Amino acid sequence: MSEKFYKNTTDFIREKPRRMSLIYMIARVFPIAIGAIYLFLCVITGLIMPLALFRFIGVPLAAFVLVTVGRVLFHRKRPYEVYRFTPITFNKKRLKKGKSFPSRHTASAAVIAMACMSLVPSLGAAMLVMAALVGISRVLCGLHFLSDVAVGFVFGIIVGIIGFCPIIF
């Protein structure tokens, strides 16, 4: 993705309030919804299968830690740092420098979707779509490069498969 892509995309989204509302819903509301669904399923899992709760929490936590370590090791600049434009953000105080690769939002959403898929496959599939949309929104907002999001998404799915596949464990 080029400088022109990011500048044109963020300008295009900012032109219309409806576009800003849509990107807000995907970028801010979807992650909250994914977290709320996950929290609800943690409670249900804890009540019905207390031992399974360790895996249900442990696998996403491990993915979160690994992605966080990867971000520190790679310390890749963000698109708005490289191309000098104003990204779309709904909290200016949270704009970060570096640590763009891989996308922690996307990886976390994907592994949580896989956790949910292990209990309710149709819900997990819907959450994978939401995770992909969260990742795409991060690119459209100028907060991540496409490769940050793609690697985060694939990493989350792989960790989810390994962590929740009953054949392996």
Structure tokens at 162: 């390994």
User: What pLDDT is stored for residue 38 in this prediction?
Assistant: 96
Predicted TM-score (pTM) of this structure: 0.89
User: What pLDDT is stored for residue 168 in this prediction?
Assistant: 46
Structure tokens at 16: 């219309």
**Predicted confidence (pLDDT) per residue in 41-83, tens digit:** 999 999 999 888 999 999 999 999 999 999 999 999 999 999 9
The answer to whether residues 58 and 50 touch, using CB atoms and an 8 Å cutoff, is: no
For the chain, domains (ranges, CATH) are 3-164 (1.20.144.10)
Q: Which residue has the tokens 């295009």?
A: 12
Q: Is the pLDDT of residue 94 over 80?
A: no
Cβ neighbours of 36 (radius 10 Å): 10
